[in-house]
Every structure is written in structure tokens, then in C-alpha cells.
Amino acid sequence: MRETGTAVRVFDQLKKPFTRFTKKAKHRVTPRRMTYRILIGLGVLLIAAAVAWQVNATLFTTHSERVGRALVHRFLQNRALNSQVTATGPGGSATLASCSANTNSGDPVKGLLQIPKLHVVAPVEQGTDDPVLAVAVGHDPYSVWPGSAGNSVLEAHDVSYFANINQLVPGDVVNYQDGCVTDVFQVVGHTIVQAGAPVPQLSGTALVLDTCWPTNALWYTPNRYLVEAQEVSVKTSKTAPNSVAQTWPTGYASTAPAPLVAQGLTLAQNEAPMGTLVLNGTPSNAWAQSPAPLAVEEAGLAAYFGGLKAADQHHADWWSALAPGVAMPTPLSGAWVSGHDSPLDVTITAQGTTPTAVTLSTLVTLSGGAAPGRYQETITEAIHGLTVTIANWEVSHG
């Protein structure tokens, strides 16, 4: 009996330390658990980084559109091309006022970029920030000016002056006009590089046109399309150049009532992933490659966001102002967009220099209302003068 009892005590004494160790082990972080926690933490950080990148890209795009629009109107009306504005055409026209070199003057416009094949005549300003690119072609300040020995780099938005530069092929001509001096360049090739990559250096006096790729994207793109050209001649004259940079009306607006406008109808105030901008019909190249289509797009978005807000808040009067004679789709009434499930694509139909319609299409998730769910939306808007109204709003299960 004593041996048995002794054995039990020895076992108990061994068990107690084992029990204490086991209890501690319950709170101990094992290497495997630590690995899992690290992986989960890294995953959270990656998701946060992706969200931050998307927000930053959206803010970049919306900031450019929001700030640029006001500058477009002011620049084209008051500062266009060192400006001597005449009354020809609905938007007027302008030409360089003298033969003196403008590169070092106080005027923001330093010269004219001409691309005959694309019918582009664009003002060139110093810098590549949003306010400049909203209204002009920007000169990269880290490069020489066109016509100087070395490589000059000019940048513009892909849905503006450089919308069609991917159509340029070797042999096409690009001119840069400064006063009475015109530097003539000939295209020698093109390349697609990642944003931030060094611009390829060309020999002699060269010019590089730089824009986003693809050239119909309304969102921030990671690639850049570069057109490379080399100078082949220099032309001078004793008279002011005849080239005219035409300007177009940019004051397009929806018919949203003031209380609705006060709620915010811009892209900056209504987040939506932007897709592509396509021009249909027979728009003139000069109009297509100007800030005017972006102004039309902004008015079209204002009508779209206004329609969503009017329907969500059961404001039939607001809806009627935006969409006269158009019935409000049942799924929209009392509902709100809880998510855009596809990019918002914009198509503008124009004849010559006159836009006639805007079409927006996207896939959304509607919450609330009588029929929440996923819907394909196609909104057609009519343009009369500078006024944009909703002409049709189709909603179908997506």
C-alpha cells in the first residue's frame, strides 16, 4: 500500500508541473500561429495599400477634372494664345499677337503645337500639372524647349489634344511655332513605357509627345504613349503666323434645380469608377482634340448624378427638371447606388463642332426602393445648345 501511495504521490508531483505547463501553453503564441498572424497582417496592409492607391488615383482624376474646367473657360476666353481674340465662329478664334519669341515672356502661352495630319493646333504652356493640362499642352520643365539642341518633351491629356497621336506614323509632320519661327519635326517612331520611366533620348534636336495609354481612358493609367520626332527644318517669316487655334464653348450644364446642385453633382462629390470616353458621329478633329468633350462629359455626369439623387429622395419635380417627359424607372425610386460594379463609360455623339447627345452606361447595385438588386443602366442625354437633359433612362437586370 505504501508503495502504491508513494507512486501516486510521485505521479501527482509529476502531473502538477505538467498541468501548470499545459495551462501556460494555452496562452503561448506558437511559431505557427505567429506566422498566421503575420500573413493576416500583411494581407490587411496589402488591401489597405490597394484601397489607398485607388482612392489616390480617383482623387487625381477628379481633381484634374474639377479644377481644370474653370480654368478651361477662363483661359479660352481671356488668355488664348497671347490673345488677340476675334469674333469668328461660335467660340471665337485667336492668334499670336507678334513675331517676338514668347518663351521668356510673362504670358502663360509660349507657342503653338501644330499636327497637320490630326488637325491639331494647341497652345503650349510651361509645366505639366493639372491646371496646365486641363487647357493646354504642357512643356516638361526638365527638358529643353522645342527647337533647342536636345530632347523637348510636351505632354497632354489622352482625351484632349493628344487623343489621336497614336495615329501618327514615321514621316508625319509636327510643327512648333514660337513667334515668327516654326520648327518642323518629322515623326520617327513611337514607344509605350510605364509611367515614371525615363523618356528615351534621341540624337540631335528632337521632340517627344507624351500622353496616357490607352488614349480613350478616363481613369488613371499606368502606361504612357510616346511619339518621337526629330527636327528637319526651321522656317522664319517677317509677319505673324497665320495659324489659328480655335476655341469652343465649354459652359455646358445640366438642368438640375439649384437645391439639387447644392448637394453636389460633380465627379469629385460622387465617387464612380470612370471607364472610357468615345466620340461618335462625325466630330471634327479640331473639336475632338480640345477641352470641349471633357466639358460635355462633366455636364453629362451632373445630369446622371442629379437623376440618382432626385429618384432616391422622391423629388419628382427635380426629376422632371432633369428629364422632362421621361418616366422615372421604378427600381430607382427611393433607391441609392451602393456600388458601381463596372466602370462608367461615356459616349458623346457630335456633328462637326456640335455635340448632340451623351450616353452613359454602367452596372450598379441598387439598395432600398421597391426592387433592390443589380442593374445595367444606360442613360441617353440630349444636348441643345449648352444645355444637357436626360432623354431616356433604361434599367435592366444585370
Report which of 115, 111, 114 is spatially closest to residue 98, judged by C-alpha positions. 111
SS3 219: coil
Q: Cβ(321)–Cβ(258) under 8 Å?
A: no
Q: Which three cell numbers stand for residue 179?
A: 513667334
SS3 3: helix
* Strand bridging mode 354-368 / 344-352: antiparallel
Residue-range domain boundaries for the chain: 61-246, 253-397
What residues does 112 pair with on adjacent strands? 123, 177
Long-range CB pairs of 137-140 (<8 Å, 24+ gap) are 137/113, 137/161, 137/162, 139/110, 140/210
Consecutive 10-residue runs of the chain (398 residues): their mean pLDDT? 33 32 43 67 61 42 36 36 32 41 61 88 88 87 93 87 91 89 94 89 93 81 92 76 61 95 91 87 85 89 97 96 96 94 94 95 94 96 96 92
The Cα-based distances of 96 to 77, 155, 160 in angstroms read 15, 21, 21
Report the pLDDT value the prediction gives residue 158, as an integer from 0 to 100. Answer: 75
Report the pLDDT value the prediction gives residue 32, as an integer from 0 to 100. Answer: 63
In DSSP notation, 306-335 reads HHHHHHHTT-HHHHHHHSTT-PPPGGGTTE
Amino acid at 52: A
Q: What is the CATH superfamily name and number for domain 61-246?
A: Sortase (2.40.260.10)
The Cα-based distances of 378 to 84, 232, 327 in angstroms read 43, 49, 14
Q: Which three cell numbers stand for residue 143?
A: 527638358
Give the count of beta carbons closer than 10 Å to the beta carbon of residue 390.
26
Cα 221 to Cα 225: distance, rounded to the nearest angstrom: 11
What b/e string do you get for 220-230 counting C-beta neighbours within 10 Å, with b at 16 or more?
bbeebbbbbbb
Using CA atoms of 84, 85, 86, 87 in order, give the dihedral in degrees to the nearest 10: -170
Report the pLDDT value the prediction gives residue 285, as an integer from 0 to 100. Answer: 80
Report the pLDDT value the prediction gives residue 31, as an integer from 0 to 100. Answer: 64
Q: Cβ(383)–Cβ(252) under 8 Å?
A: yes
Report the pLDDT value the prediction gives residue 159, as an integer from 0 to 100. Answer: 73
Q: Which three cell numbers stand for residue 120?
A: 491639331
SS3 311: helix
Report the pLDDT value the prediction gives residue 309, as an integer from 0 to 100. Answer: 97
Residue carrying the nine cell digits 443602366: 377
Report which of 81, 115, 117 is spatially closest to residue 96, judged by C-alpha positions. 81
Q: Which three cell numbers stand for residue 238?
A: 517677317
Report the pLDDT value the prediction gives residue 218, as an integer from 0 to 100. Answer: 74
Report the pLDDT value the prediction gives residue 30, as an integer from 0 to 100. Answer: 62
- Can you say whether the dihedral through the CA atoms of 163, 167, 169, 174 is positive or negative? negative
